[in-house]
Structure 1
């Protein structure tokens, strides 16, 4: 019996010794008396793999013709790593860029008030001008291609830089070179403080409610709920939601709004390499006729909402085919003022459709007249898309 206990003790000691050895070799860095360091195996492999990066850094710091800023070299290396994927929506953001990005979804910023994306040809395309901003007043339209910013050529490869140049202090000017219908022209626009008011409501004749959503920021679903309740208290019988020129925004806000409109069931599915997720509506749904206005400026989160409503037959879409951005981004805050925005998944409508590069075709395709000029107020005489949606809802509530 004593022998068995002795052998068991030996086995335990061997196991403990092996665990300690493995931990020292693979996890813990050990400083030897001579100043040398034993590093974990994985860390050593990384150091070997990235040794050229460190070599280049030292060469540039020590030998480049002008004095270099090590922090800029690091930012440049990190930006290059993100951009090497060829995905314009995956970007490393330095302190200024990350601050600007966070401001755009949480507050106000100095700029001209346009939202841009990258098309299949690597052009920077205006998704939409934000309502009541310098960009809208200057006549910038969805689909415009931005060729230059302040005489600097831009494309999807330097989207991040182009956006940064367009932003700036209130009262300063920025010049855009724009291509539209094959013709190029310039616009010099004075920057203003852009306030992100994302929800507007009104009551049309016959008790048909109207809610415009300009984008999905952190307060949009609460503002939408307030607008919806206000219209219901006024006796609303049917609803038109206007997602035209809505570039998207926060997925969670979109899902929250969809939960107010859809009966119980799937809203959207996101599928990534690591993680996939289904978002569900708890119901019971809006309980009245619903039409949604969309166009080529409706992108990302607005397409998620429109796609869910169409696929679940909770309402109809009216307008023109949407932008076609079926990718989901997430943001990493490194807590030092910098951040990484990267594509984490593709999203699929309840019918299993990914609309990346294709967009969503409405139930009723309606073009605006070529000479139509948007009005500051709801236009039931010239806005053919709104007129069609109004007629559909009016017919359903009778």
Structure 2
């Protein structure tokens, strides 16, 4: 009896697949030749695989010893289809993951306050969010997250890791991190509301402006312009822009920042899989005081766009250590059912035509922080990179 049910379901699956195949053949936007619809070999292979997938789903649902979570099976199939054919940044996200990911460019969310990226098959911390639970616990750029709540993590578990480390306030999180040249360390955290205040500014050394940007969210560009205008009203003689441990964010916002710094020209351009070029340009007016930009291994993506434009136009001096090296652009696509897909759509290039993917940007002045200073909050007078920036700016006055 059970075998007959399985056979019946398999037959239904094949019939459904054939209906879909006919629909694709009749209505898909593929060229006609001589009035006849042609199906490529690749399309035909895909339809066969699609039919097999439906058959497998039907058989497993019918014969598996325990109850099957069908939605989980479908999500897994979609996730696998994307991850097995693309780079590490292109990912399918279920409803929970998609909601959490889109929240990260908004005003706030509940979590431990850490930005992560896949690297070398593992999950690497690009940067902790300033004054978040992760930073207060001593987590820093370059750490690798090995386990979360006892579960081993690899680069394939990025979405799962985000889900485990976010959620309601007060959730207890146990991490095992690996720090190069140090070893493993266990850290216990509690999630809390992370409020994004991405731009902070002040006057240092009596007459030098200092602006720190922690990431690029929807308000960062406007907040930066307000902060810069306030500093200029105070007649600062130079500017230190701190992009250390800035993991990036929205391209539109980093362009607003670069527009104030580099003068007229191309800030960044992208090239997609059709070799189509899109570029973002800046206006002629620019900052007319000496500029230094602080960068490190946690400076990634959108913050590298700003750094690359400043470097290429010689609009300022980059100080610190080599940046992360992410020269790929992702688009977040809402699939209209609560799920989404983050897909790499282009490579970006600095004004000089360099794609820094996997290479990063080497600053004009390479100056790493001493090991003893990497795990603690530094005052301006203790921070040798800020002090070097002050020295460089003074030399240009």
TM-score above 0.5: yes
Measure the CA separation in 2 of the matches of 1:82 and 1:193. 32
* Aligned partners of 2:97 and 2:162 also within 8 Å: no
What is the count of residue pairs matched by the alignment? 362
Match of residue 68 from structure 2: 68
Measure the CA separation in 2 of the matches of 1:117 and 1:209. 31
- Which runs of structure 2 are paired with 1:21-36 in the superposition (5 Å)? 26-27=26-27
Question: Which string of whole-angstrom CA distances, capped at 9 and with x for unpartnered residues, describes residues 289-340 of structure 1?
Answer: 1110000110111111101100111111001111111111111111221110
Structure 1 position 42, deviation (Å)? 5.9
TM-score by length of 2: 0.87
Measure the CA separation in 2 of the matches of 1:235 and 1:224. 17
* Aligned partners of 1:260 and 1:283 also within 8 Å: no
Question: Are residue 163 (structure 1) and residue 181 (structure 2) matched?
Answer: no
- Which runs of structure 2 are paired with 1:22-171 in the superposition (5 Å)? 26-27=26-27, 45=44, 47-119=47-119, 121-171=120-170
Structure 1 position 206, deviation (Å)? 3.9
Question: Are residue 330 (structure 1) and residue 331 (structure 2) matched?
Answer: yes
Residue segments in structure 2 that go unaligned for 5+ positions in a row: 1-22, 29-36
* Aligned partners of 1:296 and 1:322 also within 8 Å: yes
Question: Which string of whole-angstrom CA distances, capped at 9 and with x for unpartnered residues, describes residues 99-147 of structure 1?
Answer: 000111112211100111122x212111111001000000001111111
Matched residue SS, 1:258? helix
Give the direction of change, closer, same or farther, for the CA distance of 1:244–1:122 in structure 2 (3 Å limit).
same
Match of residue 383 from structure 2: 383
Structure 1 position 86, deviation (Å)? 5.0
- Which runs of structure 2 are paired with 1:191-340 in the superposition (5 Å)? 191-274=191-274, 275-340=276-341
Question: Which string of whole-angstrom CA distances, capped at 9 and with x for unpartnered residues, describes residues 186-213 of structure 1?
Answer: 1011111111111001011242111000
Match of residue 176 from structure 2: 177
Question: Are residue 372 (structure 1) and residue 373 (structure 2) matched?
Answer: yes
Matched residue SS, 2:386? helix
* Aligned partners of 1:88 and 1:159 also within 8 Å: no
Residue segments in structure 1 that go unaligned for 5+ positions in a row: 1-22, 29-39
Question: Which string of whole-angstrom CA distances, capped at 9 and with x for unpartnered residues, describes residues 323-380 of structure 1?
Answer: 111111111111221110011111111111111111100001111122115665x733
TM-score by length of 1: 0.87
Measure the CA separation in 1 of the matches of 2:67 and 2:385. 59
Matched residue SS, 2:146? strand
Give the direction of change, closer, same or farther, for the CA distance of 1:24–1:387 in structure 2 (3 Å limit).
closer
Give the direction of change, closer, same or farther, for the CA distance of 1:316–1:71 in structure 2 (3 Å limit).
same
Give the direction of change, closer, same or farther, for the CA distance of 1:287–1:328 in structure 2 (3 Å limit).
same
Structure 1 position 381, deviation (Å)? 2.2
Give the direction of change, closer, same or farther, for the CA distance of 1:164–1:267 in structure 2 (3 Å limit).
same
Match of residue 36 from structure 1: none
Question: Which string of whole-angstrom CA distances, capped at 9 and with x for unpartnered residues, describes residues 206-236 of structure 1?
Answer: 4211100000011110111111111111112
Measure the CA separation in 1 of the matches of 2:284 and 2:361. 24
Measure the CA separation in 1 of the matches of 2:273 and 2:25. 31
